[in-house]
Amino acid sequence: MIPGPIEFEPEVLRAMGMATTSHVAPNFIETFGKSLEMMRDIWMAPNGQPFIVAGTGTLAMDMAAANLIERGDNALVISTGYFGKRFKDILDRYGANTTILESNVGEIVPIDAIEKELSSKQFKVLTITHVDTSTGVLVDPKPIAELARKYNVLCILDGVCSVAGEEIKQEEWGIDVVLTGSQKAIGVPPGLALLVASQKAMEVWENRRTPVSSYYSDWNNWLPIMRAYEERRSSYFGTPAVNLIVALETSLKIIGAEKIANRVEKNKKLAEAFRAGIKALNLEILPKTEEIAANTLSAIYYPKDIDGAELRSRIAHYNIIVAGGLLSEIKASYFRIGHMGSVSSNDLISVLSALEMALLELGHSFESGKGLQAFQDNLLASNEKLSTV
């Protein structure tokens, strides 16, 4: 139950295990083409240009920066944790003059502070971390994207821990690039960098004055490949991750059958119920308010009188694996539990049960059974509310 790689659907794992076919075989060409088309549905970007490249979420970040930034461009990073700082490092590498607006731990950057910065000079791009995996903080990208349009700035959304888990309406909200990695809510083992670029982003890239500084990330190399596979033709730049793309098609079909809006709503309900269970155990989450708590993972402070490593070890004794902290300044103070993808209420009941047992064994003060009761009560109330709508 770490925040990626997540647990994968059996059908996805079976697809991964198929005999590896040629990347120019007719059946694989069809698979690649369908995957690109289905990405537009999941991203809600019917006119966007999807890219599927062998790599990680960080490669997707790198591709966005490499193709849209030229030396001397102004870039604004809105950071709520570890991965906002990573985006600054990437932008700096390509010669951007980068300004970073950092939130306090567990908070978001105020919208007024973002507009003040945007009005101070002309920026070419701004980046948003939708859900920072290090803090579990959720940022609402819609009003920030509105500001980006107001000030004629390209808007890049790091959706590594949010795509297919949080609400994203890329085209409607005017977000120019939405990127992710395969191993999170998309539900495919690690190894694919996935992004969708708007027509505006593609036009900015086409009108660059200088060559893209990264050979591997250059859309000049990848765009003809994506177009060819969508037209059901073979093409070659670098050998695609064949089995991973077969698994991607399988997972996107599962998400599509459920419908992305339904999956996001289910995830939200489960996450809200899970946070109610956490609160009932007298535990505190990093996000300062419920409104900015992510629905794809929870970052939870250890009780002050309990050793974090010992707590995680005892949870593992009950066959539940959770992640430690990631944000360097408070790394030893908290742990993280992922709940995205095909996660079910039964999964979260198992997590809460293991967590309760571990906390009881370590002498943490709370009423036994309260976590599970709060989780189930919240879920029942949510289901009843839906049934009356």
Q: Quick one: CA dihedral 290, 57, 173, 109, positive or negative?
A: positive
3-state helix/strand/coil string of the chain:
CCCCCCCCCHHHHHHHCCCCCCCCCHHHHHHHHHHHHHHHHHHCCCCCEEEEEECCHHHHHHHHHHHHCCCCCEEEEEECCHHHHHHHHHHHHCCCEEEEEECCCCCCCCHHHHHHHHCCCCCCEEEEECEECCCCEECCHHHHHHHHHHCCCEEEEECCCCCCCCCCCHHHHCCCEEEEECCCCCCCCCCEEEEEECHHHHHHHHCCCCCCCCCCCCHHHHHHHHHHHHCCCCCCCCCCCHHHHHHHHHHHHHHHHHCHHHHHHHHHHHHHHHHHHHHHCCCCECCCCHHHECCCEEEEECCCCCCHHHHHHHHHHCCCCCEECCCHHHHHHEEEEECCCCCCHHHHHHHHHHHHHHHHHCCCCCCCCHHHHHHHHHHHHHHHHHHHC
Task: State residue 387's pLDDT score.
Answer: 55
Determine the average pLDDT of the residues in 239-259.
Answer: 98
Among positive and negative, which fits the CA dihedral 276, 7, 160, 195?
Answer: negative
Cis peptide, bond prior to residue 5, ω within 30 of zero: yes
Model confidence, pTM: 0.96
- For residue 213, pLDDT over 90 is answered with yes
pLDDT, one tens digit per residue, over 115-137 is 999 999 999 999 999 999 999 99
pLDDT band at 389; cut points 50, 70, 90: very low
How many angstroms separate the CA atoms of 137 and 82, rounded?
Answer: 11
Over residues 261-277, the mean pLDDT reads 97
Hey, which residues does 157 pair with through a beta bridge?
128, 178
Residue 213 CA to residue 192 CA, distance in Å, equals 21
Domain positions in the chain: 10-258, 260-388
Listing from the earlier edge strand, what are the strands of the sheet with 334-338?
Answer: 297-301, 334-338, 323-324
* Widest distance between CA atoms in the chain: 64
The string of pLDDT tens digits covering residues 14-68 is 999 999 999 999 999 999 999 999 999 999 999 999 999 999 999 999 999 999 9
Average pLDDT, the chain: 97
Structurally, what CATH architecture does the domain formed by 10-258 represent? Answer: 3-Layer(aba) Sandwich (3.40)
CA distance 80 to 141: 13
pLDDT tens readout for residues 173-184: 999 999 999 999
Confidence of residue 382 (pLDDT cuts 50, 70, 90): confident
205-240 residues labelled b (16+ CB within 10 A) or e (exposed): beeeeeebbbebbbbeebbebbebbbeeeeeeeeeb
Nearest to 342 by CA among 235, 217, 110, 184: 184
CATH topology of domain 260-388: Aspartate Aminotransferase, domain 1 (3.90.1150)
- Tokens at 214, concatenated: 């990264």
Check residue 388 and give its pLDDT: 52
At 383, is the pLDDT very low, low, confident or very high (cuts 50, 70, 90)? confident
pLDDT band at 384 (very low <50, low <70, confident <90, very high): confident
Mean pLDDT of 209-225: 98
Question: How much is the average pLDDT of 97-116?
Answer: 98
Instruction: Give the tens place of pLDDT for each residue, 312-368.
Output: 999 999 999 999 999 999 999 999 999 999 999 999 999 999 999 999 999 999 999
Question: pLDDT tens-digit profile of 153-197?
Answer: 999 999 999 999 999 999 999 999 999 999 999 999 999 999 999
